[in-house]
Amino acid sequence: MQMRTLGKGLKVSKIGFGAMGLSFSYNKTSPISHGDAIALLRKAVDLGVTHFDTAEVYGPYVNETLVGEALAPFKGEVTIGTKFGWNIQPDKTPFMQGFDSRPEQIRKVAEDSCRRLGVEALDLFYQHRVDPAVPIEDVAGAVGDLIREGKVKHFGLSEANAATIRRAHAVQPVTALQSEYSLWTRDVETEILPTLEELGIGFVPFSPLGKGFLTGAIGVDAKFGEGDIRNTIPRFTPDAIRHNRALVELLAELGRDLAATPGQVALAWLMAQKPWIVPIPGTSKIHRLEENTAAASIALSPADLARIEDAAGKVKIEGERYPPALMKQSQK
């Protein structure tokens, strides 16, 4: 698989792998087994994926341990991004924990994440969400200290706005921003992408397939299992699905011309936007993993991109991408 560069020197595969769904958010009713998850992650390496994404809050904690175990045979061959920033409490739902990006907490999370991942230094360490109680300069400074000590290699932010990115970057260069971006979530195009390009920061879009919607596999009668995050997301109500299917139909039509699936077209479109964009689709299924990674070899022509842009511009996406409480945590 072709490689891309995030920031000033983190080289990763053109498509990464988001491991969150292997531990929570999607699989509570019929979770993937530990052995199958290990096999899936190692299959991703076989297919050319060198960049994997996790976080302490996924589980919490168990996702980092899973990723560390699966990738242990490939040390030096792959990179792993993980995240800090939550006040994790076992009796509360992940992402509803409250923030904690105090410098002493950042250091503790770094040490604990290294232990769970089985590494001496974290390749990419993101602030998972901006903590309004801690100045971003203090956060950047704390991660900078860890970088100078050799415990972290690269600093990242997630769901931060342009002003916050600039303030952090002035203290400690930011290698990558991770935020949602896909054909049905394009907010970052106005301010975020120009800021990243100006500062030389890479972009790692999560949910590049719209939490599965852009694959075409989710219909109006879709039923999500217990604990599936999509049960709470406004875009996955039957009315919103019915309305937003127009976007999937566009992808399917173009896919037929390219001998590609709707999901592959969506990923190819995303990678065509900038050479420093590295999406991290996640899945628990081998055939979807193979489908996603194959998208790295699809080259959309200027005419294809114009066709997508024209048609997508006529589809007004219905429904917010998160419930209100989670929307408040973004773009700070």
Asked whether the beta carbons of 173 and 124 are under 8 A apart, the reply is: no
Instruction: Output the pLDDT for position 48.
Output: 98
Higher pLDDT, 221 or 199: 199
Higher pLDDT, 143 or 307: 143
Residue 309 has pLDDT above 80, yes or no: yes
* Beta bridge pairs of residue 319: none
Domains and CATH numbers, the chain: 3-210+273-298 (3.20.20.100)
Asked whether the beta carbons of 201 and 193 are under 8 A apart, the reply is: no
pLDDT tens-digit profile of 243-301? 999 999 999 999 999 999 999 999 999 999 999 999 999 999 999 999 999 999 999 99
Tell me which residues are annotated as active site: 58
| CA torsion angle 217 260 211 159 (round to 10) | -170
State the residue for tokens 């990179």: 79
Instruction: Output the pLDDT for position 229.
Output: 86
Question: What share of the chain has pLDDT > 70, as a percent?
Answer: 96
Residue 20 has pLDDT above 70, yes or no: yes
pLDDT tens-digit profile of 105-122? 999 999 999 999 999 999
- State the pLDDT confidence band at 225, using cuts at 50, 70 and 90: confident
- State the pLDDT confidence band at 95, using cuts at 50, 70 and 90: confident
Instruction: Output the pLDDT for position 325.
Output: 72
Q: Tell me the pLDDT of the chain averaged across its residues.
A: 94
pLDDT tens-digit profile of 187-201? 999 999 999 999 999
Residue 29 has pLDDT above 70, yes or no: no
Mean pLDDT of 35-62: 97
Mean pLDDT of 85-114: 91
Asked whether the beta carbons of 157 and 126 are under 8 A apart, the reply is: yes
Closest CA to 299 of 281, 276, 273, 272: 272
Asked whether the beta carbons of 225 and 32 are under 8 A apart, the reply is: no
- State the pLDDT confidence band at 169, using cuts at 50, 70 and 90: very high
Closest CA to 273 of 10, 14, 45: 14
